[in-house]
Amino acid sequence: MRILFPIAALLAATAAAAAPIRVDINSGIAQPLPIAVPGFATPAATPTEAGTTAEIGGRVAQVIANDLKSSGLFRPLDPTAYTSTVEMPDVLRPEFASWRTIAAQALVTGSVTVNPDGSITVGCYAYDVFSAEELARQGFVTTAAGWRRAAHKCADLVYARLTGETGYFDSRIVYVSETGPKTKRIKRLAVMDQDGAGHRFLTSGQNLVLTPRFAPNQQTITYMSFEGNRPRVWLYTLGSGRQQAIGDFPNMSFAPRFSPDGGNLIFSMSVGGNTDVYRLEIASRKLTRLTSQPGIDTAPSYSPDGSRIVFESDRGGTQQLYVMNADGSGQQRISFGEGRAATPVWSPRGDLIAFTRLGGGRFSIGVMRPDGSGERLLTNAYQDEGPTWSPNGRVIAFFRSARGGPVDLWSVDLSGQNERKLGTPLDGSDPAWSPLLP
């Protein structure tokens, strides 16, 4: 467990005696850390397939600033407040005095250079402005067109150095894009970077599709499709666009998720009005039934070590959360609060389970420990549903339906703060956050 200073103490401390700069992300941020992210420098403005290195340098800084701002932990300073542009020598030896005059606590700077093979190197440097110390530096080599990922990796580096937690910006979100009247809703799989860039649709909208989830390798997505009026679990291969049903089961299969090793799928199947959780070994197509109680057992999700599965069941009368061993043994109820608990999903850190709490005419996103203790509600709305974890387990995305209104993707951090809407071209639901990209 890391010992983190609350931000107020930190501000006083850094001003007084150059104590290590640190952002406390556990207690919620009263005042985000002021940070300067000037446009990245370049030795010479060199043309690339994605614009000149000078242009890329400006865009890299914008993406980093936007990432850091979106976390709610940082307050990027207005670039127009900067006195001058950053040149190459400034990257290695910043003029800390001038950054202090605009009250920047931290500085992210860097450079963009073209390599002999046409690739680019994005150099990423983070400094503590008051102590005039370097906090981190890393170079990222990518194609010119891949500059966004270098920017996200730089933002992850800064986030990790200042919070002590792994970052989450170099990741993607797959979700269901929605449009049209509710009675004839058109739903399509879509994928985008976590900041909304690089958005693209994966399916045409001809078939109703639901609940997409990434494979651990992020190359495959499992989802439910009504293709041919046979609702069942499918796989979508991102590179080729290939779509394939996982099996010819006679009954509806749905709510799929991958095992952490990617070798198995768990999902629900309904047989004669009774819904149970099953596991399919993908290579052998071997199907194993994991629950057998009468009732609706659905929304299964593995623990990150693959040893346990959390799911919801109404076997006790209403929807509640249960945990079992991966082989189906030891099924135990863990949720007991007011109302119902549904759609559990295990944190990638293993320490918490996010879920949907239904009660009092509201749908909220909550978290609890895997033993059911420590329940906290993070949101409270007409209908918030379907949580998914950022790769570092610090932020939860979900979808929010306004009464009679739009359906949108939102995120909230673990402290229940920084609730924000994620931009999508149309309405959005069923988000699933990818792991960090390799």
Which spans of this chain sit near other proteins (rule: CB under 8 A)? 181-183, 185, 187, 208, 210-211, 226, 229, 231, 252, 254-255, 268, 270, 272-273, 275, 296, 298-299, 312, 314, 319, 342-343, 356, 358, 363, 383, 385-386, 401, 403-404, 429-430
Closer residue to other proteins (CB): 187 or 394:
187
**CB contact at 8 A, 200 and 424:** no
**Residues 6 or more apart from 185 whose CB is under 8 A from it?**
178, 179, 208
Residue 359 pairs with which residues in a beta bridge?
Answer: 362
Q: How far is the CB of 234 from other proteins (least distance, A)?
A: 15
**CB contact at 8 A, 190 and 174:** yes
Torsion of CA 122, 127, 129, 132, to 10 degrees: -120
Closer residue to other proteins (CB): 255 or 290:
255
SS3 of residue 12 by DSSP: helix
Closer residue to other proteins (CB): 136 or 252:
252
Closer residue to other proteins (CB): 173 or 342:
342
Length of the chain: 438
Which residue in the block uniquely carries the two structure tokens 């989450």? Answer: 168
Q: How far apart are CA 313 and CA 291, in angstroms?
A: 10
Which one-letter amino acid corresponds to residue 219? Answer: Q
Closer residue to other proteins (CB): 211 or 392:
211
Q: How far is the CB of 347 from other proteins (least distance, A)?
A: 19
Q: How far is the CB of 318 from other proteins (least distance, A)?
A: 8
Half-sphere exposure of 139 (CA within 13 A, CB side): 11
CA distances from 288 to 143, 244, 321 (A): 44, 20, 21
CB atoms under 10 Å from CB of 351, counted, come to: 13
Return the CA Rg of the chain.
Answer: 23
Q: Which two tokens stand for residue 406?
A: 């739009």
Q: How far is the CB of 424 from other proteins (least distance, A)?
A: 18
Q: How far is the CB of 339 from other proteins (least distance, A)?
A: 12
Residue 174 pairs with which residues in a beta bridge?
Answer: 191, 432
Report how many helices (DSSP H) and strands (DSSP E) the chain contains, helices first: 5, 31
Q: How far is the CB of 253 from other proteins (least distance, A)?
A: 10
Which one-letter amino acid corresponds to residue 340? Answer: R
Closer residue to other proteins (CB): 7 or 365:
365
Closer residue to other proteins (CB): 157 or 345:
345
Backbone phi, psi, residue 180, to 5°: 95, 170
Provide the 8-state DSSP code for 185: -
Closer residue to other proteins (CB): 115 or 229:
229
Q: How far is the CB of 268 from other proteins (least distance, A)?
A: 7
Q: How far is the CB of 325 from other proteins (least distance, A)?
A: 21
CB atoms under 10 Å from CB of 330, counted, come to: 10
Closer residue to other proteins (CB): 162 or 310:
310
Q: How far is the CB of 269 from other proteins (least distance, A)?
A: 10
